[in-house]
Every structure is written in C-alpha cells, then in structure tokens.
Structure 1
Amino acid sequence: MTHSILIFGCGYLGQRVAELMRGAGVQVHAVTRSSERAKEFAKAGISPIVADVTDPETLTNLPPADTVLFAVGYDRSSDPSIDEVYTGGVRNVLAALPEGTKRFIYISTTGVYGDADGEWIDEQTPPNPSRAGGVASLAAEKLILASPLADRAVILRLAGIYGPDRLPYLKQLTAGEPIEAPQQGHLNLIHVGDAARIVAALADPVRKVSGPAIYCVSDGHPVVRGNYYREAARLLGAPEPTFVAPPAESPRAARAAADKRVSNQRLLAEVAIELQFPTYREGLASIVAP
C-alpha cells in the first residue's frame, strides 16, 4: 500500500520534503493558496489542493494521508496576523483532518525559547518566547499536544534555515557595503537540505515514533554572527564585512537580543541522521561554490 503525505506549506522547506518523499515512492498532496502554484505542483507530480489554513471553509474534503506536515511560513505581506497563520492555522487543520492520520509533524521554531544569555538550551529548557512568532508557535504546539493526535505528533523546533537562494546580505557582502546586523550573539542554523532529510526520516512509516516527540533541529554548532558573515565574505572573495546596528525596534534587533546556543544531541541520538552540512562552513561553501 502506497504511503501518502499531506503538506501544508510546500515552500522553501516543504517543497524539498515533497521531492524527497516522491523520490521514495510516496504519494504527495500539497496545499497552496495560489492556483498558479497548484499548476506548478501538478507538473511536478504533486497532487495540489487550493486552500487557506486561515479559512476553515476552504479546508473541506481534505484527502486522507498517513502523514501530515504543517510547515506554513508567515507572509508578512498578507492580511492575516502571525497568530492567525500559526496558531489559528494549526487549529483549523487539526479540526479538518479526516480520520486515519498516523503522524502529524509540526515545524516550530527555536524562537519558543526566547533569550538564554548565550547559554546552551535543549528540549528540556522551559519555553519563554519573547517575539510574536515564538509566542504563536508555542501556542500551536500546545494545541497539538492537547489534540487526539498528540501521541502521533512530532514537533520540530527549527533553528534558522539557510541554503541556496537564502544567504542574507549577499548583495551587500559582494559589493562591500555595510551590513545592517549585529556582530555579537549566536546564529543557530540548519541547512535546508538537512532539515528536509530530517523531516523525511521522521515521516517514514517504518520509523516508530512515540509521541509527542519534540526535537531541536540545528547543526549543533552555533556561530557568532560576525564570524558567519566574515566566512561568507571570504568564500565570495569579498572585502571584510563592516556592520551597522539595525534599528532598535526592528525584527533583526529583536532576534539578536535573544542570544542562545541550541543543542541537537537528542536529534542526533534518536533520529540517528548524519548531517551533510554539520557546520555553517560546509553549508556556506556549498551555497557560494562557483
């Protein structure tokens, strides 16, 4: 019997998961708000569903699927609030899913932890979000943990995703222009390729999951922000980067104020997956390679 997955949020991460699952012979359904995007999915062999997680009336007649992946990102140009997308979206999807779902995978964020003054944090660290995205993600987690799918749920608290076409300040680095970002504090990162492989591994029906399972997903090698951009500049053959402080009320400043180092020891031990990009150095080299 063919395994199936239903993906909400088939974007930067979700589409890579879809490609891996299709390569493994899995039937892939993906939800999108865009009819044009739906046509692209169909051409790629993905069964498209046009719906909106913030509108319960569009979530009728969802196909049954063994695994459901909720990987919806927040579009700041859209009307719904981040709470409506993350928390409300999960609430609506949980209510709309047909019976038979064997696994529910939720893409959360390490933003649920807030500030740790540069100390190490892991799955045992009490969440204490300070930004709207972390607050909404934690609320969504709680909805899942209180749902009938809790014993089949996997919550993945992802660090910052980077990869092809997602290298911040590429233009400024190449041009030798100042970067509007702090030099201090740690970046916790996971390459999108490794993140997709982790999701695909946990979606495999052969793998036994005793839920609710919560994992911090990072490469486990936090890097000081300034050193990350210096390495990117070196690989690009660009000048040594210079920095200017971002506006105090900006999202960049808020992210920098929440300094922590994220451990991935539980992930490595229990999921037993070898990262292709174990540190930012390998990841950056793969992105800017000629």
Structure 2
Amino acid sequence: MRKLIIGCGYVGLTVAREWVKQGDQVSALTRSKDNARKFTESGIQPVLGDITQPESLERLPEADTVLYAVGFDRTADKSRREIYVTGLDSVLKVLKQRSQKVIYLSSTSVYGQTAGEWVDETSVCEPERENGQICLEAEQLFEQHGFLSTSVPKSNAATAVILRLAGIYGPGRLLARMEQINAGEPLAGNPDAWLNLIHLADIVQAILRCDTNIHLDDRYLVSDSRPITRQEYYLTLARLLNAPEPRFDSDGSGEISRKSTRFNSTERAAGMNKRCSNKRLREELGVSLTFPTIAEGLPDAIKKN
C-alpha cells in the first residue's frame, strides 16, 4: 500500500516506521534536505516541498492513505493560521484526486469548556483561545472540501477522519519538565485544573486502526482514560524522578523563572480544565490503550527518555 505523511515529526515519523515495517511504500513531505537524507536512510521516500508553497505540492504522489500531522514550526517564519489553515487548504486541493483516505491530527483545543465539564465528539466547540479557533477552522476545511460524511463528497473524492489529540507525552517529550522538576523550580498555573493526556504509542495505535477497512466516524477524541489535575500529574512525575515535591505559583507572583511561567505544548493541547471522554475511541474504533493512565505511561516515557 502507498502511504504519504505530511508532517513527519514526533508522531508522523513513528507511524512512518510502523508502515515501513508492514512493507508499505511510504513517502514523506519535507522542506529540509537533511531530513530528506534521514528519511531515505529509514526507508522513507522524501518529497521536497512546503505546504505554504502551493506550487511545490504538485510533487505529492498518489497515496492510499495520507497522514496529515503538521505541527506549528516557529522556525518557519509563518503564522499559525498560515500553517494550519492556508497550508492545509492548499494540500486538500491536491489530495482530492490523489488519495483515498486522509487521517488528520487535530487537537482537543477546539473545545472551549473550562469549568471541568466532560466533552466528547458531540460537544459544542466554541474555543476562546486563538490556537483552538485556528484548529477548528482547519477542521472545517475538510467539510468545505467534501471529505467528510457530513458533507456531500464527489464519488472520486477522498474521505477523511479527524483525530482530536489530547496533550501528547512519551519518549523525548518530558525532558524540559523533568529538568524543571529536578531543579525544584515552581510551576505556573492552577494546580487543580484538569489535564487530558495521551501517550505516543496510543496515538499510533489509533492512526493504524483508522488505516483499516472498517467503518469510521468523522471524528474521534484521542485521550487516555483518566483526566488528572496538574497537581497529580506533577506529583506523580516528581515521585518517579525522586525529585522534590513540585511547587505551584498559580497567580504568577513571586520570583520564578521565565521558563516556568510558560505552559509547554503538551499542556496547551491537554487543555485547561475540561475532561475528555475516550468512549468512542475505545468502544467504536476499538482501540485498547497500552497506557490508559499516566500510572502506566509516565514510567515508560521516563525510562525511554
């Protein structure tokens, strides 16, 4: 089978390697000649191009499945909207006639709930933060281009499934926070706010499950089975590291480092004070999580860092 990955980074490269193991023909779009060489060494066919340069997208090959896993690259000198919306719009115009299925990685930031409410795929999406608004705008492009069952696709158009990912953690994604915890630096933010997390291995599971011949809904919320508070998350991390108990500066007062006042990318995606239900992921998509809670997932991630 022919696979194409657009956004071959932390998640995309892991999926690419799984597809290569399966014997699939895997291509990946990249702007970097250095990455192109690395992809070739891993058995992945590089395609030089840039989603913000529509003319370069004519090089995209036909594919049975496309994984779209583009993240925000601050080194690209492009705005979040240029990357997530304008770039995606250009890609979808090309993919309509060159693919059968698109698996799109979105974010639970599309939900605007902030009072500890439970959300699922049917919950209203009214994000107040700009990143959530842009993610929702990007999702809406799939309906506009006729990729979803809720739209009216042409018979020769590709179909799509949107995976709304909670905060991603796993090997290589905890180093900055591990250093901060070990140093005993205070953490910004409300310790009682809810976080929703998902381990890299279970994201890959969900993607591979979507790449089978089963009935798919338009959207799945990809989160583990137990939302936790920020306090519990960092207490657990500190205990695993034999580090000092974490301190929080919820109102930003006190002498704390500039680094500690920022939420990392995992926490931004994990959402501030909502709780995500993964019922459809488990019961309808049929994903049996390897790491259903951080009790199983954090030790694995730390061990492989």
> In the superposition, relative to structure 1, how do residues 116 and 246 fare at CA in structure 2: closer, same or farther (>3 Å)?
closer
**The one of 270, 276, 280 aligned to 2:284:** 270
Report if aligned partners of 2:216, 2:285 keep a CA contact under 8 Å in 1. Answer: no
* Aligned counterparts of 1:201 and 1:19: Cα–Cα separation in 2: 15
- Asked whether the equivalents of residues 195 and 272 of structure 2 are also in contact (C-alpha less than 8 Å), the reply is no
From the superposition, tell whether residues 156 and 83 of structure 1 become closer, same or farther in structure 2 (CA, over 3 Å). Answer: same
Q: 2:238 aligns with which of 226, 233, 238?
A: 233
TM superposition shift of 1:105: 0.9
- Distance in structure 2 (CA, Å) of the matches to 1:116 and 1:232: 24
Are the counterparts in 2 of residues 169 and 179 from structure 1 also a CA contact under 8 Å?
no
1:173 aligns with 2:181: yes
Count of aligned pairs between the two proteins:
284
Q: Decide which of 163, 166, 173 is 1:159's aligned counterpart.
A: 166
1:8 equivalent to 2:9? Answer: no
The residue number in structure 2 matching 1:59 is: 57
Q: 2:263 aligns with which of 252, 261, 268?
A: 252
For residue 208 of structure 1, what is the amino acid of its counterpart?
A: I
2-structure distance, mates of 1:252, 1:42: 35
Report if aligned partners of 1:110, 1:157 keep a CA contact under 8 Å in 2.
yes
2:206 equivalent to 1:214 = no
Alignment-mate amino acid for residue 289 of structure 1: K
Q: Which runs of 5 or more structure 2 residues have no equivalent in the other structure? A: 150-158, 254-260
Task: Name the CA distance, whole Å, in 2 between partners of 1:229 and 1:275.
Answer: 22
Deviations, residues 93-117 of structure 1 (Å, cap 9, x unaligned): 0112262411111101000001241
Measured against aligned partners, the alpha-carbon deviations of 1:171-224 in whole angstroms (never above 9, x if no partner) come to 0111222223431211100001110121112123xx22345x100000021000
1:188 maps to what in 2? 196
Alignment partner of 1:103 out of 95, 101, 104: 101
Please, which moves more after superposition, 61-70 or 91-100? Answer: 91-100
Secondary structure of the residue aligned to 2:84 is helix
Distance in 2 separating the partners of 1:174 and 1:146 = 48
Conserved in 1, the CA contact under 8 Å of 2:2 and 2:24?
yes
The amino acid of 1:124's aligned partner reads T
Q: How many Å separate the matches in 2 of 1:174 and 1:108? A: 32
Unpaired runs of 5+ in structure 1?
none
Q: How far apart are 1:68 and its partner, in Å?
A: 1.0
Residue 92 of structure 1 corresponds to 90
Give, in whole Å, the separation in 2 of the partners of 1:270 and 1:23: 26
Q: Give structure 1 regions of 4+ aligned residues with deviation exceeding 4 angstroms.
A: 253-257
Which of 118, 127, 141 is the equivalent residue of 1:129?
Answer: 127
Cα RMSD after superposing both structures: 2.1
Is the contact between residue 4 and residue 27 of structure 1 (CA under 8 Å) also seen in structure 2?
Answer: yes
Pair 269,238 (structure 1): closer, same or farther in 2 beyond 3 Å: same
CA shift in 2, pair 1:279/1:31, >3 Å: same
Matched residues in 2 for 1:243 and 1:258: separation? Answer: 15
CA gap of 1:91–1:246, structure 2 versus 1, over 3 A, is: farther
Counterpart residue identity of residue 110, structure 1? T
Residue 154 of structure 2 is matched in structure 1 by none
1:251 is displaced (CA, Å) by: 6.1
Deviation of the 1:231 alpha carbon: 0.4
CA contact (8 A) 1:62 1:98 kept: no
Partner of 1:150: 148
Q: Are residues 197 and 235 of structure 1, via their aligned partners in 2, closer, same or farther at CA, if it must alter by over 3 Å?
A: same
Stretch moving more, 251-260 or 72-81: 251-260
